[in-house]
Amino acid sequence: MRLIENWFSERYSDNLQLSFRIKDQLLSIKTDYQRIDLFDTYDFGKLLSIDGTVQLTEKDEYIYHEMITMIPYYFNSKPSRVLIIGGGDGGAARRLVDLGIENIVNVEIDGNVVEVAKKYFPAISSSFKEKKVNLIIGDGIKYIKESKDKFDRIIIDSTDPVGPAEGLFSEEFYKDIQSHLTPNGIVVTQSGSPYYQPTALSMAHNGMARIFKYVKTYCAFIPTYPSGLWSFTMASSEEFKKRDEPTVTGKYFNKDILEGSFYLPEFVKNLIK
């Protein structure tokens, strides 16, 4: 008898990859922007990959989505208008809806990501059915250049800074972002694995630091992303002030995480000096 085992692997370096044993490959499409694959894995449920990199899994998506929305939520004025750039799976929008945000604009460049999410991740993408969420299929960089709107938070939920998302890590883009934030508004971006993608983190942090007076990096443990240690970087033109209000407890996020995720290992601090 021959046993055929199927695995999906994301390559981290020439010498290391993370492999998921899969029950099935549900989809593989090449869009105008990227390649989208969908797998049914044994340990993490459905897994969405873009250009060979894990974007989300059913089992651990809550960590990334709580951390990109809830940490910046509790600083400065209570947000009511939020812009998401990327985030076509709807996961970030869903958390914002749960936080009670009244007005959410979500600009995703690749409509196929939204379609895939609607079909295969109905719970995560259910946010797109909400009246409060205005989904726009378009280029976030262009949107921000042309829009006259101001937002209290801008969430950059992008892929890695190679390919279509590269411009989302540039100083020029952060400048445009700044002009669309309310005075103590906050921009946050995912800034990669400090261990395997140190340049993603330094690009985001140093790029933001050239435009904004206040920049802070925080980390979270995300088992399905390279090295498990993941970074997020947020910036504002005014000093960060934690609001004095009780925090919601998520599945990862809690009041200790709101404080503790800003304590960084020394090698991470050295990347953003």
Task: Using CB under 6 A, list all residues that contact ligand AG3.
Answer: 10, 53-56, 64, 87, 89, 91-92, 157, 159-160, 190, 225-226
Q: What residues are paired with 84 via a beta bridge?
A: 106, 155
Catalytic residue among 139, 157, 160, 176: 157
Q: Tokens standing for 99?
A: 């936080």
Does residue 232 contact residue 219 with C-beta atoms inside 8 Å? yes
Sign of the torsion angle spanned by Cα atoms 60, 64, 65, 71: positive
Active site residue 157: yes
Q: How far is the CB of 12 from ligand AG3 (least distance, A)?
A: 8
Where do we find the tokens 């250009």? 51
Q: Which helix (H) or strand (E) holds 83?
A: strand 81-86
> What is the smallest separation between the CB atom of 96 and ligand AG3, expressed in angstroms?
12
| Least gap, CB of 127 to ligand AG3 (angstroms) | 11
Q: Supply the minimum distance, in Å, between the C-beta of residue 1 and ligand AG3.
A: 35
Question: CB-wise, 8 or 76, nearer to ligand AG3?
Answer: 8
Residue 152: partners with Cβ closer than 8 Å, 6 or more residues away: 76, 77, 78, 79, 80, 81, 82, 181, 182, 185, 186
Q: Which is nearer to ligand AG3, 79 or 226 (CB)?
A: 226
Shortest gap between Cβ of 244 and ligand AG3 (angstroms)?
Answer: 30
Closer residue to ligand AG3 in complex, CB, 55/127: 55
- Collapse the DSSP code of 135 into the 3-class scheme (helix H, G, I; strand E, B; otherwise coil) and give the result: strand
Residue with smaller CB distance to ligand AG3, 34 or 190:
190
Pure H helices in 126-263: 140-146, 171-178, 198-211, 255-260
| Cβ proximity to ligand AG3, 55 vs 202, nearer residue | 55
Gyration radius of the chain's alpha carbons: 18
* Kind of pairing between the strands at 151-157 and 181-190: parallel
Q: How far is the CB of 38 from ligand AG3 (least distance, A)?
A: 14
Could you say which DSSP state residue 75 is in? B
Q: Is 107 helix (H, G, I), strand (E, B) or coil?
A: strand
Which residue has the CB atom at the shortest distance from ligand AG3? 53
The C-alpha angle 103, 104, 107, rounded to 5 degrees, equals 150
Q: Which is nearer to ligand AG3, 37 or 76 (CB)?
A: 37
Q: Which residues are catalytic?
A: 157
